[in-house]
Amino acid sequence: MFMRVDKLQAELPAPKAKDPNAAAALQELLGGKYGEMSTLSNYMFQSFNFRSKSKLRPFYSLVASITAEELGHVELVSNGVAMLANGPDGDDTGDGGDISMAPFEDMTDIRLAGSFFANAGGAMPVDSNGASWNRDFVTTTGNVVFDLLHNFHLECGARLHKLRVYETLSDPTGREVCGYLLVRGSVHAHSYALALKKITGVAIEKMLPTPNIDLSRIPECQKYLDEGSHRRLYTWSPDDYQELSAIWSNDEVTLPGDPKGNLEVVDGMPDGGKIHELAGQPNVFTPDYAPEEMYEIAAKLTKKM
């Protein structure tokens, strides 16, 4: 089962301005072939379908724990997309005013106009061109080596796409999303490589990093490297999945180019950061054209708690 915590895995800075086209670029990291919907769904269904769990517990625990982290990555990217599409935190007071003067005429020129018309600037499981994510991106064969190798490939592909999306963005919100995910994605690629080495003897971690660029060259990665995030895998559970330490063990070291240190498994989850509140826009009918009555009802319900 899953437990939900009302935080993001990383603190995201507020965007400098509304930028729906930057939000569209960031959508690639959500619903693209190598996006977070793909990593989540691959690992999640592999963990559901995993054979001989009791006999292969370290490998199952690795895939299962990373599944939980990937669910948080979907949440992180989705928040980044919505923040970029809607702009800095705003004021949700007042009604929708006069909508007859085409207040959103500029939305007809944005790259993904449908993101405004259908979703009011919210995230959806689509790529940067608006094509839907689909189940054909999921591989779950039941063969442990094949699935781990697929996961290694998936994380390398995700890193390539994160780097390319990063190169298109100038707003701090999108760049922070990329910086955090690049560090955590490198951890996952490294962990799958170590799992393959344990089970086959092949030192596939020598292929990393792919693409061959040190994360120290990306400013938004630096604070996560400084705090040691590149060395840590989390169990995402208070009691379960500690067996992954047989793979991500403290006798293994960080990748070349990253700050040196031994690997460690951390029980639970990181502290995380706040979720920005997207202001309602009554003239977009979010949460409605005249939402004051809704606010009053919610306030009364909260007082009863």
pLDDT for 282 equals 86
Q: How confident is the model at residue 101, as a pLDDT?
A: 85
First-residue to last-residue Cα distance in the chain: 27
What is the average per-residue pLDDT within 119-140?
A: 96
pLDDT category, 21, cuts 50, 70, 90? very high
% of the chain at pLDDT higher than 70: 100
* DSSP count for the chain of H helices, then E strands: 9, 2
Please indicate whether residue 106 or residue 45 has the higher confidence score (pLDDT): 45
Structural contact between residues 123 and 173, judged by C-beta atoms closer than 8 angstroms? no
Residue type, 218: I
Q: What is the mean pLDDT of residues 15-29?
A: 97
pLDDT for 230 beyond 80: yes
Q: C-alpha 116: how far from its chain's center? A: 22
Q: Check residue 290 and give its pLDDT.
A: 84
Would you state the pLDDT for residue 304? Answer: 82
pLDDT digits (tens, 9 = 90+) for 258-279: 999 999 999 999 999 999 999 8
pLDDT tens digits, 67-81: 999 999 999 999 999
Tens digits of residue pLDDT in 189-218? 999 999 999 999 999 999 999 999 999 999
pLDDT, position 160: 98
Q: In this predicted structure, what is the pLDDT of residue 96?
A: 79
**pLDDT of the residue at 248:** 97
pLDDT of residue 48: 98
Q: How far is CA 206 from the centre of its chain?
A: 26
Percent of the chain residues topping a pLDDT of 90 = 86
Give pLDDT, residue 93. 73
Which of 171, 177, 219, 162 lies closest to 76 in space, CA to CA?
A: 177
| In the predicted structure, residue 228 carries a pLDDT above the cut 80 | yes
- What is the pLDDT at residue 92? 75
Instruction: Return the pLDDT at 184.
Output: 98
Q: How confident is the model at residue 281 (pLDDT cuts 50, 70, 90)?
A: confident
**In this predicted structure, what is the pLDDT of residue 53?**
97
HSE-up of 137 (CA within 13 Å, CB side)?
A: 25
| Mean pLDDT across 230-252 | 96
| 145-192 pLDDT per residue, tens | 999 999 999 999 999 999 999 999 999 999 999 999 999 999 999 999
Q: Report the pLDDT value the prediction gives residue 291, as an integer from 0 to 100.
A: 86
**Mean confidence (pLDDT) of the chain:** 95
